Amino acid sequence: NAGVTQTPKFQVLKTGQSMTLQCAQDMNHEYMSWYRQDPGMGLRLIHYSVGAGITDQGEVPNGYNVSRSTTEDFPLRLLSAAPSQTSVYFCASSYIRGTEAFFGQGTRLTVV
């Protein structure tokens, strides 16, 4: 059972480049979400989804897009990378009223 698979683990981008962070889960969870984690800032919600075809913004959505075409996949797109987007990104999934969220291994992104 793979759980939540997040790729890549590390990425360096130049300012202005675009890229997609991949996230897939095999637990049939309705809820999926993306967080960014900066030192001393905790986990801040970027975007989330409560099911295929449904997405919504979290606390810090600017500069990011998401889509949810299937239950399993929830990619995060950086449209035009900026140094302020240097962070560690985590994808998580859970049942819609679940008490526990399951996390991917994280992506350490550096924008230069």
Partner 1 sequence: GQSLEQPSEVTAVEGAIVQINCTYQTSGFYGLSWYQQHDGGAPTFLSYNALDGLEETGRFSSFLSRSDSYGYLLLQELQMKDSASYFCAVREASGTYKYIFGTGTRLKVLA
Site string for partner 1, 58-97 (x = CB under 8 A): xx------------------------------x-x-x-xx
58: which 2 tokens? 């979290």
Nearest CA to 21 out of 101, 89, 103, 93 is that of: 89
- 98 Cβ contact partners less than 8 Å away, ≥ 6 residues apart: 29, 31
Shortest distance in whole angstroms from residue 17 CB to partner 1: 25
Does the footprint of partner 1 cover residue 56 (CB under 8 A)? yes
Give the position of tokens 């890229």: 19
Shortest distance in whole angstroms from residue 75 CB to partner 1: 18
Site for partner 1 in 1-30 (CB under 8 A): none
Tell me how far apart the alpha carbons of residues 29 and 72 are, in angstroms, rounded to a whole number: 8
Near partner 1 by CB under 8 A: residue from 23, 34, 35, 81: 35
